[in-house]
Structure formats: structure tokens, C-alpha cells
Amino acid sequence: MIRITIQIIKNKDFNVKRKLLILLLLFVTLAGKTQERKYFSLFTDRNLYTSGETLLFKIFGPENESSGIIHIDLINASGKKIVEINKKTTDHQADGFIYLPDSLSSGYYLLCTSTRNNPTLTFNQIYICNRFTGIPEAGTAIRSSETMIVAENQVNDLEIKGINKTSQTRSKVQATIHLPGKLLSQIKGNLWVSIAETISGYNSESFLKSIKPKEDQIVEKDGVILEGFVKDFKTGEPFKNGIVFLSIPDSIPRFNFYRTGSDGYFYFQFDNYYGKIPVVIQGLDPERKRLVKIVLNHQESVPAGISSFENWTVPPELRKIAAQNIDALTFRKIFNQQEITIQPGSRPKAEAYPFYGVPTSVIDPHPFIDLPDFTEISRELLPGVKFRAYNRIPSLQVLNSAMHAYFEDPPLLLIDGIPIHDLNIVKPLGSKDIDRVEICNGERFYGDLAFPGVVAIYTSKSNFSRIVESDDLIKFNLDVIQPAAQLNIPSEKLQNEPDLRKVLLWKPSLKPEETVRLDFETSDIRGSFKLLVRGTTSDGSVFYKEQIFEVN
């Protein structure tokens, strides 16, 4: 009996020990995790810009970031977004560019990096000088006075060789970066190397801010998410079970739809779309009884009070360099020297056939006599399509070839791939306005949507200008993922032109090797330049090494 009791106590002790061990391991794991960088590290090529220039940036994301899309916004001191960029990450890194609008007034601006789910925003402060007015005479500016500054580690054992303290203008330089074996084994992803003009004693700093992330938990993995809200036009309440159409006009138009839940929200993900794409969003009540209103969920500004600001006296040296920069930019504009070349972005593979199916017949009205309106066209040219306007009220019906009878309900009517419900839009279309008409005689299905036949009109202009925006229809150009860009290096043929580059080298994704060779040529710009090497290690921390040299 005593033996058994001792055994039980021993077992209990063992169980408690085991649990304590598990808890300890859990704690150690969590403690390890908390030390990982959870925010984005954002770096720009320079700190001082002139409006009309191009800003280059590089981002190192945290390892635990689930989102594959990063949003980079240029915002002014009042928090208003001026430029919005979306970048897709590769190995938790991204690089891109921002065209700084000519109209920007001189002052401090913030670059804000965010994702849908990350609760930490990373800000980077830059000074932009207006190219027409320069820095104001007042000599002061408002700048961020944030204290939660992001620190970095400079690695001393990383060597940069081949760069003299001074270099001649327009001279070729060969530099090498030597990575120590220990660091090389710890590096995660690619290295970022840049050589750009720097202003001594003037550095912009990054700072972090916490926000409440979106609660929907939807992750942007391969593309930008467009979200919005459908509400009842009269009551303003969220519209449940509303249908939202997304149309992307193209040679083969793309289409998608979303059925709203009780919250009225809709989401469309644009996987692997690059650049700017035309988009039409329509909302409708499937029973066609109530009117709906579409509201896109787009923030024009970052939350108020995101940063505190203070007055700052512009140093005279900055004013002098800003004036030189304006001159340099003016010359670059005169000689039409582009700072970067944008590489064409890919698009999702074209569909084999339109979403509404392979047409039963395709009619080109041009070989026939000119017909003045769509009533005549349907009567004379379109088989199985009945477009009539009795008492000036137009109606459209398509033949159901399987049943040898006309559908009672109107078909899916499209203009340049965009569904329309107002038949008056097509009524005035004559032969000259129409490129071709595609007809599907039969009931078509697309997901849960059923169409009693399809009439797809492709106009000669194919600019869907006939479709008018309304409460339930929004058309706009959507900025999706920004395509990659490359820094322009002037060719040797243009030796007679001034070379006014401020960025001599921009390699945002260099493969880390024991020895990395860098070949670059200095420009006609004299002053201080900084070679910067940055990367991340497997523990998520960002390291850097810099070397400053003068160009005379």
C-alpha cells in the first residue's frame, strides 16, 4: 500500500515536472519570438528630394509577416495620403519607387509602410523641396518629433574596399564588399546596396506607431484586395445578400462577383495584377426591388494624430544643396533624362474564352449596310435577339435554342465586358458605334449566377465611356502591384550631355556572396556620397555598413 502511494506521488511529481518543462519551453519559444523584428524597416535612397524627382525605397519585412503585399504611402504633415504604392514581397523584401509630384510644396513628408494585418506602421521622414519655389525664406519647417526611433546595427567586420576618400567626377570605380563567413551564413534573403548623395549631419530617421489592425483577418497574399461596402440606398443599412459585380474590361473581359454577408462588405483580390487597371464595380439587389449604394473602403489619410510635429530650423547647408538639386533636376528635365526604367509588369494569363461562354454567334455589322440604332441591328443582323422599344420602353430577349423559345427574362447585356441594366444605353448604338456583337443563345451559368442568354456588345471606341457612374456603379483605375524598376545609367554615347545623377548605384536585391563586386561611375555632381550595404539576418535584425566618400 505504502509502495503504491509513493509510486503515485512519484508519478505526480514527474507529471508536474514534465508540465513545468513544457511551460518553460513554451516560454522560451515565446520569448524568442518576441525578440524577432515585427515591423517593417523602410529605407530610401536619399533624405532630401526635389518635387518631380523619383524616390527609391527598399523594405525589409518581418519574418512572421503573413501578408505578401506592402502598402507604401507618401503622406503630408496632416496625414493626407499623396501617393499610394503597393508592392509584392519576395523573401519578405520589396523595393520600388515613388514619383514625387511637381506640385508638392516644400516641407517634411512621411513615408508610411503598412500591411492589412500588421499592427505596426513604420514611418520614414523625408524633406521635399518644391522645384519652383525652393525652400521658403522663413527658414523653418514642421517635422516629426517622434521618439520611438528604429535603431540599426552597424557591422564592423563587413569590409568595403576599392573606394578612395575622394573621387573625380565621371570616374569609373570598382569596389568590392567582403562579407565575413559568419555573417554570410546568417544572412537571410538578398542584400541591398546603394550609392547616393548624402548630406553630412542631416539624417532622416524611421519611427514606429501602433495601430489597431483590420479585424477581418483577410490576408493579401499575391495581390491587392479591393474592399467596399454595399448599403441600402434609402435606409443606409448594410445590404445583406447583395451582389457586387467586378468587371475588368480587356480584349477578353474579366468578371467576378461577390455576395455580401450581413455586414454588407465585399472583397475582391487582384492576384498578380501589376500596374494600373480599369475597374468597374456594380452593386445590385438580386431581386431588383431595392436600390443600393456602393462605398469603397479606401482611407484617404492615416489616422489623425499619428505623429507629433515640432518646428525645425532649416540648416543653411540644406538650403544650398536644395538649390543645387533644383538646378540639377531642371537640367535633367531639359535633357529628358529619366531616372528609372519601369519593367513591364506581368498580368494573369488571359482566359481561354469570356466568362459568359463561347458565343453562339459573333456578328460584325460593318460588312452590312449602315443601320442607325440597335433596334434595327437586332432586327436585321442578330439571330435570336429581340430588341424592341414599344411605347419607348426598350426590352431585350434572347432565344433559348434548347427550348426553341425566347427567354422571358432579359439576358446578360454587356458593353465592352461591363454588365449594364439600362437598355436605353444600347438603344442609340448604330453600326458605326459597334465593333462586334457576341450572342449566347441559351442559359449560361457563371458560379451561382444564371444568365438567360448573353448579348455582349463591343464598341468601336472600346472605352466604356457610355457607362455612367452612379450610386451603384463606380468606375476607376485601380493601382495594383507596382512593377519593378531599374536605375538608368547613362550610356557612353551620351558623353556630351551632363550626367546629374544623385544615385550612382541602386542594387536592391544582390545575392550575398563572400565577395560582391560593384562597378559604378560617378556623375557630374560634386559632394558627399554614401555607399550603403544593408541586409537582414536569420534572427530578423537589420544590419548595415556605410562608407562616405567625396566627389570633386
Partner 1 sequence: MTNRILLIITLLGFFTAITANAQETIQKNGNTEKIKGTRFIPYPGYSGSPYLTDKFVVGEIEFLDGIKAGNLELRYSTYRDELIYYNAVISAQILIDKISLKGFSFTDDKGETRVFRRQYYIGLLHEERFFEVLSDGKVSLLVYRKVDLETCDTSYNKFGLAFQPSFYYYIYTADKGYSPIKMNRSSLLSKFSKPNQKLVKKMLRKNKVLIEDEHSFISAWNLIKDKEIEIIF
Residue ranges binding partner 1 (CB under 8 A): 16, 19, 22-23, 216-219, 225, 246, 256-259, 261, 266-269, 271, 349, 352-353, 355, 357-358, 402, 442-448, 450
Long-range contacts of 405-409 (CB under 8 A, 24+ apart): 407/443, 407/452, 407/453, 408/452, 409/452
Rounded (10°) CA dihedral 467, 477, 108, 483: -170
* CB of residue 355 to partner 1, shortest distance in Å: 7
Rounded (10°) CA dihedral 444, 446, 450, 456: -60
DSSP 136: -
* CB of residue 360 to partner 1, shortest distance in Å: 10
* CB of residue 536 to partner 1, shortest distance in Å: 26
* CB of residue 36 to partner 1, shortest distance in Å: 18
Q: 278 or 348: whose CB is closer to partner 1? A: 348
The 3-state DSSP composition of the chain as helix, strand, coil percent (nearest 5) reads 15, 45, 45
* CB of residue 71 to partner 1, shortest distance in Å: 18
Q: 419 or 442: whose CB is closer to partner 1? A: 442
* CB of residue 383 to partner 1, shortest distance in Å: 18
* CB of residue 328 to partner 1, shortest distance in Å: 46
Residue pair 542/190 in contact (Cβ under 8 Å)? The answer is: no
Rounded (10°) CA dihedral 345, 41, 113, 63: 70
Residues 6+ apart with CB under 8 A from 3: none
Exposure letters 259-276 (e unless 16+ CB within 10 A, then b): ebeeebbbebbbeebbbe
Q: 354 or 394: whose CB is closer to partner 1? A: 354
Alpha-carbon distance of 417 to 354, in angstroms, equals 9
Q: 393 or 402: whose CB is closer to partner 1? A: 402
* CB of residue 484 to partner 1, shortest distance in Å: 23
Q: 304 or 402: whose CB is closer to partner 1? A: 402
Q: 160 or 225: whose CB is closer to partner 1? A: 225
* CB of residue 284 to partner 1, shortest distance in Å: 16
* CB of residue 376 to partner 1, shortest distance in Å: 29
* CA terminus-to-terminus distance, the chain: 94
Q: 114 or 260: whose CB is closer to partner 1? A: 260
User: Which residues share a beta bridge with 459?
Assistant: 434
Cα dist. 428→249, 433, 466 in Å? 21, 9, 11
Residue pair 222/272 in contact (Cβ under 8 Å)? The answer is: yes
Q: 230 or 533: whose CB is closer to partner 1? A: 230
Q: 14 or 353: whose CB is closer to partner 1? A: 353
DSSP 370: P
Is 88 exposed, middle or buried (CB count within 10 Å of its CB: 0-12, 13-18, 19+)? buried
CA-based R_g, the chain, Å: 30
Alpha-carbon distance of 244 to 449, in angstroms, equals 12
Residue pair 179/514 in contact (Cβ under 8 Å)? The answer is: yes
Task: Spell out the alpha helix ranges (H) of 144-289.
Answer: 181-186
* CB of residue 30 to partner 1, shortest distance in Å: 11
Closest to 62 measured CA to CA, from 84, 41, 85: 41
Pairing of strands 276-284, 243-248: antiparallel
Q: 275 or 348: whose CB is closer to partner 1? A: 348
* CB of residue 217 to partner 1, shortest distance in Å: 4
Alpha-carbon distance of 365 to 385, in angstroms, equals 14
* CB of residue 442 to partner 1, shortest distance in Å: 5
Record the cell numbers describing residue 297, joined without a space.
473602403
Q: How far is CA 128 from the centre of its chain?
A: 22
Q: 192 or 266: whose CB is closer to partner 1? A: 266
* CB of residue 216 to partner 1, shortest distance in Å: 6
Q: 162 or 447: whose CB is closer to partner 1? A: 447
User: Which residues share a beta bridge with 110?
Assistant: 75, 125
Q: 40 or 268: whose CB is closer to partner 1? A: 268
What's the half-sphere exposure (Cβ side, CA atoms, 13 Å) at 62? 21
Phi, psi of 427 (to 5 degrees): -50, -50
Q: 257 or 374: whose CB is closer to partner 1? A: 257
Alpha-carbon distance of 477 to 226, in angstroms, equals 12
Rounded (10°) CA dihedral 526, 527, 528, 534: -40
Alpha-carbon distance of 464 to 458, in angstroms, equals 9
